[in-house]
């Protein structure tokens, strides 16, 4: 009986020693995380690529004075600690135990929402780990999309020509808000900062007969996912007296 009890006590002692050696993620260790954060500025400038496609012209800069959050272990809510990036976009978490960690920083969407960019890492004892760079987004076009198309004008004196400087309008179906822009020298118009997966009426104003009233020449175009630009397949034709 005494031998059995002694054996059980020995097992409990060994178990306690092993448990005490298995440190959970968090502060107190000798490992380090060192990384960098970049900020992508997207204010909705649309440019044409060499292949004729269109894209948003974004600017990537060092993200200084941005918060970086760290989660200890594998839970997926809140954070356990945070730091701020230095003037060169770098951040550092020191004195960590080995284990699984999640890092994130927040993007600012045009809607006012914030979205986390997550990086999951496995940290080993005594190591200094440089995780993948974190990219966050900021600007009036973040989370939005765009539409481009062409407009042609019929002038009595010159016939059909690209609608240079012609004013074009975009109105979301079901909304009273209207955006406007002017077509370039090739009759190309562009609308950024539009809602994803939404239908927009795109129109130009025609005045076939002077002082006989203005008639909108309209098409309906549906946007795609956030960050994409849809090219209208139908040209808008405006008749100018």
Question: What is the domain range of residue 53?
Answer: 24-138
For the chain, the domain total comes to 2
Do residue 115 and residue 34 come from a single domain? yes
Residue 111, domain member (yes or no): yes
Element (H or E) spanning 192, and its range? Answer: strand 188-194
Strand partners for 147: 191, 230
Do residue 128 and residue 33 come from a single domain? yes
Look at residue 210 in the predicted model and tell me its pLDDT. Answer: 62
Whether residue 129 contacts residue 34, with contact meaning beta carbons closer than 8 Å, is answered with yes
Look at residue 217 in the predicted model and tell me its pLDDT. Answer: 80
Which residues of the chain carry a pLDDT beneath 70?
1-22, 76, 208-215, 241
Do residue 128 and residue 162 come from a single domain? no
Do residue 118 and residue 35 come from a single domain? yes
Question: Can you give the CATH number for the domain in which 105 is found?
Answer: 2.60.40.1120
Domain end, chosen from 82, 113, 138, is at 138
Do residue 108 and residue 160 come from a single domain? no
Closest by CA position to 219, among listed 145, 143, 152: 152
pLDDT digit string (tens) for 49-81?
999 899 999 999 999 999 999 999 987 678 999
Residues 6 or more apart in contact with residue 211 via CB below 8 angstroms: none
Look at residue 214 in the predicted model and tell me its pLDDT. Answer: 59
Look at residue 2 in the predicted model and tell me its pLDDT. Answer: 47
- CA dihedral angle for residue 227, residue 229, residue 230, residue 234, rounded to 10 degrees: 160
Beta-strand pair 167-172/199-206: antiparallel
Look at residue 154 in the predicted model and tell me its pLDDT. Answer: 83
Look at residue 20 in the predicted model and tell me its pLDDT. Answer: 39
Do residue 180 and residue 97 come from a single domain? no
- pTM here is 0.81
Look at residue 209 in the predicted model and tell me its pLDDT. Answer: 56
Do residue 134 and residue 150 come from a single domain? no
Whether residue 185 contacts residue 164, with contact meaning beta carbons closer than 8 Å, is answered with yes
Look at residue 136 in the predicted model and tell me its pLDDT. Answer: 98
């Amino acid at each position: 009986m005494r031998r059995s009890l002694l054996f059980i006590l020995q097992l409990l002692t060994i178990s306690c020693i092993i448990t005490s050696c298995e440190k959970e993620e968090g502060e107190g260790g000798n490992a380090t995380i060192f990384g960098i954060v970049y900020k992508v500025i997207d204010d909705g400038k649309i440019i044409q690529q060499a292949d004729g496609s269109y894209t948003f012209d974004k600017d990537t800069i060092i993200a200084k004075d941005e918060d970086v959050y760290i989660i200890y272990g594998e839970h997926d809510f809140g954070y356990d600690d945070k730091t701020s990036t230095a003037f060169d976009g770098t951040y550092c978490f020191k004195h960590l135990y080995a284990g699984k960690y999640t890092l994130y920083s927040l993007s600012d969407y045009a809607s006012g929402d914030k979205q986390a960019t997550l990086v999951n890492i496995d940290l080993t004892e005594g190591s200094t780990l440089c995780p993948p760079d974190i990219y966050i987004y900021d600007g009036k076009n973040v989370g939005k999309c765009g539409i481009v198309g062409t407009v042609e004008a019929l002038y009595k004196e010159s016939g059909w020509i690209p609608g240079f400087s012609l004013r074009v309008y975009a109105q979301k179906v079901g909304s009273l808000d209207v955006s406007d822009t002017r077509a370039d020298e090739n009759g190309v118009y562009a609308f950024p900062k539009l809602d994803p997966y939404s239908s927009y009426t795109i129109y130009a104003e025609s005045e076939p007969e002077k002082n006989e009233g203005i008639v909108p020449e309209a098409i309906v175009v549906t946007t795609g996912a956030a960050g994409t630009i849809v090219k209208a397949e139908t040209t808008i034709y405006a008749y100018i007296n």
